[in-house]
Structure 1
Amino acid sequence: MDITIVGLGPGPLALITLETLEKIQTADVLLLRTTRHPAVADLTARGIKYQEYDRLYDELPTFDAVYQAIATDVIDRASQGLRVVYAVPGSPLVAEKTVPLIREQAAAAGITTKILPAMSFLDMLYARLGIDPQNGLTIIDAAEIARLPETDTALIVTQLYNRQVASDAKLSLMELLPDDYEVSLCLRLGLNSEVVRRLPLYELDRQQDIDHLTTLYVPPYQRQIETFTLNPLIDVMARLRSPGGCVWDIEQTHASLRRYIVEEVYEVLEAIDEADGDKLCEELGDLLLQIVFHARMAEETGVFSMQDVVHTVTEKMVRRHPHVFGEISVRDAAEVIVNWDKIKQQEKGSERTSVLDGIPKGLPSLMYAYKLQAKAAKVGFDWTEIDPVWGKIAEELTELREALEAKNLDSAEAELGDVLFSVINLARKYNLDGEIALNRTNRKFAQRFGYIEANLKDRGLKWRECSLADLDKLWEKAKLKLPE
């Protein structure tokens, strides 16, 4: 018992091998998956008898059912001791779903199967279109194309056997490709009526001669990689600042915009603290707008341009990372910081005469205190142990209390500053940011206060109608509801 599976090639019988022809001629029974193939007429002309399965395509509801019925019948014939030859269009190993079914069932039944090599429609297509499959190809049945992922390879769509299938394939492809993308429709390759037609994708299902010998070739699509550019934002700002633009934007100066850039920075920090990606994206855009705004004003007076800003910071980053862009090696992040400071000091050189130079004076006070202490620490003006820091805080709190008890408000203000400065020193020792910590507490307070406010409103109460004890109970509830 054995089954030989052969391919009839992509066209006339002349395209099959001599071995295949000999098997066909000497078979006990020759079974054709379909007679809708140009080689079948040559078989008939040679007087070669065969049986076919075309009727199953009309009798059964799905292709899967047809393929299973064919496989079962081929196995039954071989089980009767016949030398069965099963012939399919093209190659048995290309887009032939009956072949793996037959091989699997034959193995289970102890029947030997042999597959003879054959030319497929793909070989003809490679020759006609000058394609080297080694450069990458995706081959897919038209029935599966709706599930096709985005791909950068060339695409071959098989089983494009009528205009309705072609229409479905077109709609799926137009989700991935431009409507006018040029494709090649290959009809009846290897026959005298062969046609290779190049056309825009949107015309695919308008072709009147699509039949069961039709294949679609889609060249690899070089997707446009969106180039990052600031130009759209720069152009908008230029328009806003130009004559006929926005009056408010035209009136702004570097000084008038100072508060906006500070506000945008804090809104970025808030988005980071809330771990809100969409909000962070929006707030970074607002901050970038401020940068472009200042660069535009500078460009109008010939001081610098946005491109100068980009070039300057790029050169600085390369210069300050010699361990990445040069030949210097570092052991850890701490050594990176040390190198950074050395390079920064070399860059500034004669510009700075004091250790404390270089700290922006417009920083928020807590952040300014942090920077002052960090600068001083770099030259050794810092406690090496933590206990003296705690002691200093206690000392400053005592002095603040004494000043307040003496009703000396001027002295109390100074002592309060010392307390805050000492607390920032403690935060620095533990690598905590006082500015961020206080912002976090401010936000937490606002949320909990809002909870109390909403609670009173729901109960129809006014603030003055509640005792401090009542409000304190609500505050404790707010802490439970809003721990952070």
Structure 2
Amino acid sequence: MGKISIVGLGPGDYSLISQGALETLNSGSRIYLRTEKHPTLEKLKETIEYTSLDYFYDNEDDFESVYNKISEFIIEASKESDIVYAVPGHPRVAEKTVTIIENIAKLENIDVESIPSMSFVDAMFNYLKIDPANGFKLLDAFEIENSYIDTNTSMIITQIYDQFIASNVKLKLLEYYDYDQEVCIVNGAGVKNLESKKYVKLYELDRSENLFNYLTSLYIPKSSKKMYNTVHDLEMIMDTLRGPSGCDWDKKQTHESLKKYIIEEAYELCQAIDNDDLDEMIEELGDVLLQVIFHCQIGQEQGSFDLKEVTNSICNKLIHRHPHVFKNVELDMNKFERTWEELKKEEKGETTVTEGLRRIPKNLPALTKSEKVQHKAALVGFDWDDISHVFKKIEEEYQELLDECKAGNIKYIKEELGDLLFSVVNLSRFLSIDPEESLNSTINKFINRFEFIEQSAIQLHKNLEDMTLEEMDELWEKAKLK
């Protein structure tokens, strides 16, 4: 079993390779380069022999596969003898293969030594004449899609090889910065005669006249304009509102006092969706999100829970309820709803269907609650086989209501009316029609027709109160033709 010596080749200028790195390269061990696309190789070729691993880039479909394959190759090569693995810059700065190699080597008891040289980050700050002590974040262009963008600190983005990558980076950054945010395209930092920098507006980043190659990085200074575009921003605002110098109304709110607002906001969002108004949807979704953050802030102050616990809870729930997605479990998607209910029972520690029925929120609108109760019962087979039975049940309940009305028994009238409504909800379920939406549609239709009657009465210089039912009914029939 050999030893792996990982050498940093510096940012590109031969003078910036450390003495230790040069000595290791000349130690006589076999040398492998992650890539020979590096300016120092022009001079190093005179004194060393090496094997380039650039061919992995041609054989794999993505960079993750490239890095894994190179790392596995280096591990296997070290089992024969001591080897040197050389990478651009500093081995511990934006060098994925080093991390992978060290993790595997630890499991297989392979000795690994890292010999650093100056990183391209040091060279960039030196070239741009900027002190990194004020803080910065280093990102890989190929991982920016899943990265947290913090506009409150400066940032360096590496591996902007071409215009296509620059375009992807620009689109991501425009989600967080103003379109005219100043950025700096840096090429060949730390390489004499190759260094160049160009300050452009963010929207100009991917223009054809800009130069991109394997030595290109992007520097973005701290934004001068605060952008409110993360949940963390909302958390900070809520913390201020509830703080000593905050708003008296916000400070006195409790979980109990806020209950009505989450219901109101949810209904306002539904209305925005019905109106197909995207701007209104954005606003109302923000209001719903505010309620979530509000409750999390109260929970954090009380030491009971915070947003992290809420997020962790819903993430674990989604993963658990989608085993076919996250755990490669084969599911019959035709029975997915039943599987979903079984997983919910497992989470809640329930052993009976009735426990699930009782768990349905009591404050739900009665039509919605009725549909949910019937649906859960139907999942275990308690349901009519044919819609004709549903119609018969409605007729039966209607007749029973008529009988009780004739008898004048108020107690049973209320009960039978409930039975009739419950049966009608069952019909809506069989017809795949949301009973709430259906009834709301009828309510709106009624209002529109009643408006026609009222406006017609005004044109006739009549008061509704003075009109006969026959006159209003005649106008109602006309309204139905509209």
Q: TM-score, normalised by structure 1?
A: 0.52
Contact 2:184 2:197 in 1 (8 A): no
CA distance in 1, matches of 2:361, 2:414: 24
AA aligned to 1:310 is T
Residue 445 (str. 1) matches residue 446 (str. 2): yes
**Percent identical:** 38
Q: CA deviation at 1:251?
A: 2.4
CA distance in 2, matches of 1:274, 1:470: 34
Please give the secondary structure, in 2, of the residue aligned with 1:357.
helix
CA distance in 2, matches of 1:373, 1:247: 45
Residue 354 (str. 1) matches residue 354 (str. 2): yes
Q: CA deviation at 1:304?
A: 0.8
| Structure 2 counterpart of 1:344 | 344
Q: CA deviation at 1:395?
A: 1.1
**Shift in CA distance, 308/477, structure 1 to aligned 2, threshold 3 Å:** farther
| Structure 1 counterpart of 2:154 | none
| Structure 2 counterpart of 1:462 | 463
Contact 1:323 1:330 in 2 (8 A): yes
CA distance in 2, matches of 1:250, 1:386: 54
| Structure 2 counterpart of 1:418 | 419
CA distance in 2, matches of 1:153, 1:433: 44
| Structure 2 counterpart of 1:390 | 391
Please give the secondary structure, in 2, of the residue aligned with 1:363.
coil
CA distance in 1, matches of 2:217, 2:198: 15
Residue 363 (str. 1) matches residue 364 (str. 2): yes
Contact 1:137 1:153 in 2 (8 A): no
| Structure 1 counterpart of 2:303 | 302
Q: CA deviation at 1:360?
A: 1.6
AA aligned to 2:280 is K
CA distance in 1, matches of 2:316, 2:379: 26
| Structure 2 counterpart of 1:261 | 262
| Structure 1 counterpart of 2:162 | 136
| Structure 1 counterpart of 2:335 | 335
CA distance in 2, matches of 1:337, 1:382: 15
**Shift in CA distance, 260/218, structure 1 to aligned 2, threshold 3 Å:** same
Describe how 1:46-445 pairs up with structure 2 within 5 A.
135-136=161-162, 151=167, 178-179=181-182, 181=184, 200=199, 217=210, 229-332=230-333, 334-350=334-350, 354-355=354-355, 356-445=357-446
CA distance in 2, matches of 1:413, 1:372: 20
CA distance in 1, matches of 2:464, 2:260: 34
CA offset digits 1:392-448 (Å, max 9, x no partner): 111111111122222222221111111101111112222222123222322333344
Contact 2:453 2:472 in 1 (8 A): yes
CA offset digits 1:112-152 (Å, max 9, x no partner): xxxxxxxxxxxxxxxxxxxxxx94359xxxxxxxxxxx946
**Shift in CA distance, 176/428, structure 1 to aligned 2, threshold 3 Å:** closer
AA aligned to 2:360 is I
CA offset digits 1:262-283 (Å, max 9, x no partner): 2222222222233332222222
**Shift in CA distance, 466/247, structure 1 to aligned 2, threshold 3 Å:** farther
| Structure 1 counterpart of 2:36 | none
**Shift in CA distance, 377/348, structure 1 to aligned 2, threshold 3 Å:** same
Q: TM-score, normalised by structure 2?
A: 0.53
CA distance in 2, matches of 1:462, 1:222: 74
AA aligned to 2:390 is V
Please give the secondary structure, in 2, of the residue aligned with 1:311.
helix
**Shift in CA distance, 180/329, structure 1 to aligned 2, threshold 3 Å:** closer
Q: CA deviation at 1:197?
A: 8.1
AA aligned to 1:318 is I
| Structure 2 counterpart of 1:159 | none
Which protein shows a greater Rg? Answer: 1
Contact 1:153 1:221 in 2 (8 A): no
CA distance in 1, matches of 2:200, 2:276: 44
Please give the secondary structure, in 1, of the residue aligned with 2:305.
coil
CA distance in 2, matches of 1:228, 1:388: 54
| Structure 1 counterpart of 2:35 | none
Q: CA deviation at 1:309?
A: 1.0
Contact 2:272 2:284 in 1 (8 A): yes
Contact 1:299 1:305 in 2 (8 A): yes
**Shift in CA distance, 179/345, structure 1 to aligned 2, threshold 3 Å:** closer
AA aligned to 2:231 is L
CA offset digits 1:217-260 (Å, max 9, x no partner): 55678698x99631122222222222332222222222222222
**Shift in CA distance, 267/449, structure 1 to aligned 2, threshold 3 Å:** farther
Contact 1:352 1:358 in 2 (8 A): no
- Greater Cα offset, 288-297 or 321-330: 288-297
**Shift in CA distance, 364/343, structure 1 to aligned 2, threshold 3 Å:** same
| Structure 2 counterpart of 1:91 | none
Which consecutive unaligned segments of at least 5 residues does structure 2 have? 1-159, 171-177, 188-194, 202-207, 221-226
Q: CA deviation at 1:331?
A: 4.3
